[in-house]
DNA sequence: GCGACAG
DNA sequence: ATCTTGTCGC
């Protein structure tokens, strides 16, 4: 894991999420133009579920479908990848965003809807650092009347840069890449039933 | 030993 | 995350 900024231009930001149908996982991966937030590429893949959900081990459950989607879309089609789940804001500093970042050797950022590890330095409205052991793991952001979201580096990026990138992709609560990937995965699921 | 616990 | 329609509120 590299916790420094290891990227230059950010023109395309990707987002991934996984939905489930019994023992099948549906992963949607979308790539957006960072400036316009328009979708420029998207893929949906399916795999069989091979691991149960166990808190702190989410990566073992979702890495298969996400890796398959990454292989299909091409790792060169984006500069940074946003993952639904935590990065280093994790008891072993190795959440799913970090796991995937190390796997593909690219910058990744974890964006979660609930806090798993660490404490907030202050009220998250409008923003707070996520702290553990006197170290900044990431940030909690609260917008409007929405519940807060939690942002932490996955790989090859600092907490501050991760916050900056994610902020610029937010329209309402969730960053667009994550929101669109989530919707696409669920649409594919509905269409199937 | 008890409680908390991403998706 | 999932089961599951309408409904309240920004
Ligand atoms: Mg998810």
On the question of pLDDT at A192 being above 90, the answer is no
Mean pLDDT of A30-46: 98
Domains in chain A with CATH codes: 12-88+97-110+153-192 (3.30.2170.10)
In whole numbers, what is the pLDDT of chain A averaged over residues? 98
Distance CA A59, CA A42 (A): 21
* CB A27, CB A190: distance < 8 Å: no
Q: Which nucleotide is nearest to A94 (CA to C1')?
A: B6
Which tokens belong to A66? 């996400």
Of A55, A68, A56, A54, which Cα lies nearest the Cα of A18? A68
User: Is residue A189's beta carbon less than 7 angstroms from any atom in nucleic acid strand C?
Assistant: yes
| Length A132 CA → B5 C1' (Å) | 17
What is the ipTM score, two decimals? 0.94
| Length A95 CA → C3 C1' (Å) | 28
Start-to-end Cα distance in chain A = 40
Q: Which nucleotide is nearest to A114 (CA to C1')?
A: B6
Distance CA A43, CA A106 (A): 19
Q: Output the CA A84–ligand 1 centroid distance in Å.
A: 5
The percent of residues above 90 in pLDDT, for chain A, comes to 99
pLDDT band (50, 70, 90) for residue A141:
very high
Strands (DSSP E) contained in A90-161 are 108-112, 119-120, 127-132, 135-141, 149-155
Residue A193's pLDDT is 83
Beta bridge partners of A80: A13
Distance CA A50, CA A73 (A): 22
On the question of pLDDT at A145 being above 90, the answer is yes
* CA A71 to each of CA A33, A68, A119: distance values in angstroms, whole numbers, following the listed order: 20, 5, 36
Cα atoms found within 13 Å of the Cα of residue A69, Cβ hemisphere only: 30
Residue whose structure tokens are 């409205």: A125
- The predicted-structure confidence for A70-127, as pLDDT tens digits, reads as follows 999 999 999 999 999 999 999 999 999 999 999 999 999 999 999 999 999 999 999 9
Mean pLDDT of A136-142: 98
Residue A84's pLDDT is 98
- The predicted-structure confidence for A165-177, as pLDDT tens digits, reads as follows 999 999 999 999 9
Nucleotides of strand B under 7 angstroms from a protein beta carbon: 5-7
| Length A89 CA → C8 C1' (Å) | 34
User: Is residue A142's beta carbon less than 7 angstroms from any atom in nucleic acid strand C?
Assistant: no
Burial of A1 (0-12, 13-18, 19+ CB in 10 A): middle
Distance CA A145, CA A133 (A): 30
Interface residues 16-75 of A with strand C (CB < 7 Å) = 18-21, 53
The helix (run of H) or strand (run of E) holding residue A73 is helix A58-73
Who surrounds ion ligand 1 at CB < 5 A? Answer: A 17, 84
């Amino acid at each position: 894991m590299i916790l420094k900024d290891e990227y230059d231009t950010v023109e395309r930001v990707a987002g991934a999420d996984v939905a489930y149908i019994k023992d099948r996982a549906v992963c949607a991966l979308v790539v957006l133009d960072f400036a316009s937030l328009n979708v420029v590429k998207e893929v949906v893949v399916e795999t069989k579920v091979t691991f149960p959900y166990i808190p702190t081990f989410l990566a073992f459950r979702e890495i298969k479908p996400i890796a398959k989607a990454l292989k299909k879309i091409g790792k060169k089609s984006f500069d940074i990848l946003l993952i639904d789940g935590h990065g280093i804001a994790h008891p072993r500093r190795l959440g799913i965003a970090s796991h995937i970042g190390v796997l593909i050797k690219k910058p990744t950022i974890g964006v979660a809807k609930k806090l798993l590890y660490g404490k907030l330095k202050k009220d998250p409205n409008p923003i707070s650092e996520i702290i553990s052991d006197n170290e900044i793991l990431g940030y909690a952001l609260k917008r409007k009347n929405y519940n807060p979201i939690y942002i932490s580096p996955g790989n090859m990026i600092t907490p501050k840069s991760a916050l900056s990138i994610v902020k610029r992709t937010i329209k309402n609560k969730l960053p667009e890449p994550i929101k669109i990937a989530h919707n696409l995965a669920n649409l594919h699921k509905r269409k199937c039933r």
